[in-house]
Amino acid sequence: MQLYLHRLDHADRFVVLSQQVGALNREVAIRRTAEAQREELLLAEQAARARLQRLYQLTAALASAATLTQVAAAVAATAARVLDVDSVTLELHSQRLVPVLEPGEALRVLTENSWRDLDQPPDVARPAVAGALRIALEADGVVLGILTVHPGAGGVPESEYLTAVAQQIAQAVRRAGLYEHEHRVAERLQLSLLPQLPDVVGLEVATCYAPGSDMVMVGGDWYDLYNLDEDHIGLSIGDVAGHGLPQAAVMAQIIAALRGIVLRCGTRPEAVLSELNEYLHLYHRGQMATAAYLLYHRPTRTLTYVKAGHPPPLVVRPDGSSRYLDGPISPPVGPIPGARYRQGETTLAAGEALLLYTDGLIERRGERLDTGLDRLTETARRGVGLNVSDLCELFLNHQSGADYPDDRALLLVRPDSHSTPAQ
């Protein structure tokens, strides 16, 4: 190997320095480009993360919405922010979502302020909005409605993202429609199981029933009235524990059994619930029900009653004041054979009404029972001057917009105020 050494002159040194400077500039440029790309990627990642976070908020809101009203409220509250647009409008085909149960049935009014029903004639013609996008909401091959998007300063959302949001809304709408339909079927079945009450001369009678707001299954609530003779009227109300077809079947059999029991011993309230307890224990092992049976004696306006683990009936005076029948409390019927049932007694004054109800009217999650009882007495004060039907409806819906987790069954009676007790 041979090495040759040459002395560099100034020109050669300048060339080498220039080459080094050029290489350094290229490296700086590459680093700046890489830094800019990393910044762009970071911003894109942050934007995607924020979009996913907004999309998750919509997903969570829709997942917790059971009814069409709740789904529409979730869309109104979150969809515009998720899509980064000015606003969205939800329009739905109610008859595709909640079909009528039989020919000629009047469709329940489902339209709310937060959405428009495409199957109902509009009150006023709505002009088209320039630049608005209309996306079909389709699920299981059926177009359930339209989502109208009004873009803002950010422009039109990406097509894929807009489609993903619309699909989530469509699935939620479809699920809510099925829930509404099943809820109505359960309500129809429940009402068909409740008895038709006889007409009683000199007695105003009203009944109300509503299924629980988060129940699609039938329940075991019942009420009944018995026209025993010219002087005596029997009343019953109760609730089989649990929800479902087995409980509804037990309730229907209790109604039939009670009518037979009342024919034999309807003027002895203690005996009525004692026999019902033995019947339930013998033929429906494992089932339990709360119940109340009351006997009204017309000539003296005397009311004799037995409560088997059931909430106390409420006596409502004409001036709106009220009192609960807080007499002896006995165990529910069914679980304890041979249980003793004790009765209480009171007298109804002229014009007083008697409200029987199941616990779904007063019970709320995480709330003391006394709070619900106090609400009923407050409601009674607002019912001065109402007839029994309107008063019953007032009690049924005394908490507007509230969540009623359980069924509500009410029986309200008011003897003719012109009748006078025997001396």
15: in domain: no
The answer, yes or no, to whether residue 420 has pLDDT greater than 60, is no
Give a yes or no: residue 58 inside a domain.
yes
Q: Mark whether 285 and 156 lie in a shared domain.
A: no
Query: 207 Cβ partners below 8 Å, 6+ apart?
Result: 194, 197, 223, 392, 409, 410, 411, 412
The verdict on residue 303 lying in a domain is yes
Q: Which two tokens stand for residue 315?
A: 């006596």
pLDDT score, position 422:
46
Q: Is residue 10 part of a domain?
A: no
pLDDT of residue 8 exceeding 70: no
Last residue of a domain, one of 188, 216, 240: 188
Tell me, yes or no, whether 386 lies in a domain.
yes
Last residue of a domain, one of 138, 168, 188: 188
Tell whether 157 and 60 lie within a shared domain.
yes
Count of beta carbons in the 10 Å neighbourhood of residue 117: 20
Encoded tokens for 317? 């005076």
For residue 347, what pLDDT band results from cuts at 50, 70 and 90? very high
Whether 17 is covered by a domain: the verdict is no
pLDDT interval class at 188 (50, 70, 90): confident
pLDDT for residue 184:
79
Model pLDDT, residue 126: 62
CB proximity list for 275: less than 8 A, separation 6 or greater = 261, 264, 265
d(CA 368, CA 371) in angstroms, rounded, equals 6
Q: Using 50, 70 and 90 to split pLDDT, how confident is the model at 423?
A: very low
Same domain, 142 and 51: yes
CA atoms within 13 A on the CB side of 260: 7
Confidence of residue 42 (pLDDT cuts 50, 70, 90): low
Do 160 and 221 belong to one domain? Answer: no
Over 60: is that where the pLDDT of 5 sits? no
Q: Are residues 105 and 227 in the same domain?
A: no
Hey, CA dihedral for 215, 217, 221, 222, is it positive or negative? positive
Domain boundary among 157, 188, 219: 188
* Residue 306 phi, psi dihedral angles, 5° rounding: -135, 130
Structural domains counted in the chain: 2
Q: Let me know whether 184 and 205 are in one domain.
A: no
Q: 234 with 258, same domain?
A: yes
> CA–CA separation, 366 vs 364, rounded Å?
6
Residues 324 and 216 in one domain: yes
Q: Read off the pLDDT of each residue in 344-354 and give the average, rounded to a whole number.
A: 96
Whether 347 and 300 have beta carbons less than 8 Å apart is answered as: yes
| C-alpha 242: how far from chain center | 17
pLDDT (tens digit per residue) in 263-291: 999 999 999 999 999 999 999 999 999 99
CATH of the domain at 176: 3.30.450.40
If you average pLDDT over residues 52-75, what whole number do you get?
Answer: 84
Mean pLDDT of 173-185: 85
d(C-alpha 210, C-alpha 100), whole Å:
19
Residue 68: the pLDDT is 86
Q: Where is pLDDT greater, at 51 or 311?
A: 311
Max avg pLDDT among 6-10, 45-49, 141-145 = 141-145
Among 4-8, 113-117, 369-373, top mean pLDDT goes to 369-373
- Domain with 352 in it: what CATH number? 3.60.40.10
DSSP secondary structure of 211-233: --TT--S---EEEEEEE-SSSEE
The reply to whether 205 and 179 lie within a common domain is no
CB 90 within 8 A of CB 75: yes
Share of the chain above pLDDT 70, in %: 85
Maximum CA pair distance of the chain? 145
Q: In 10 A of CB 297, how many CB atoms? A: 18
Q: What is the pLDDT of residue 45?
A: 63
* Domain match, 108 and 181 both: yes
Residue 384 has pLDDT above 90, yes or no: yes
Average pLDDT, the chain: 85
365: pLDDT strictly greater than 70: yes
Is residue 24 included in any domain, yes or no?
A: no
212, 325: one domain: yes
Q: Is pLDDT at 135 greater than 60 in this prediction?
A: yes
Backbone φ and ψ of 176, nearest 5°:
-65, -35
Q: Say how many Å lie between the first and final Cα of the chain, rounded.
A: 144
Pair 294, 340: CB distance under 8 Å? no
Asked if residue 242 and residue 178 are part of one domain, the reply reads no
- The model's pLDDT over 317-340, given as tens digits with 9 standing for 90+, comes to 999 999 999 999 999 999 999 999
Cβ 169 vs Cβ 116: under 8 Å = no
Q: What is the mean pLDDT of residues 235-260?
A: 92
More confidently predicted of 365 and 8: 365
- Which domain covers residue 73, as residue numbers? 43-188
| 239-to-142, 219, 282 alpha-carbon distances in Å | 40, 8, 18
**Is position 12 within any domain?**
no
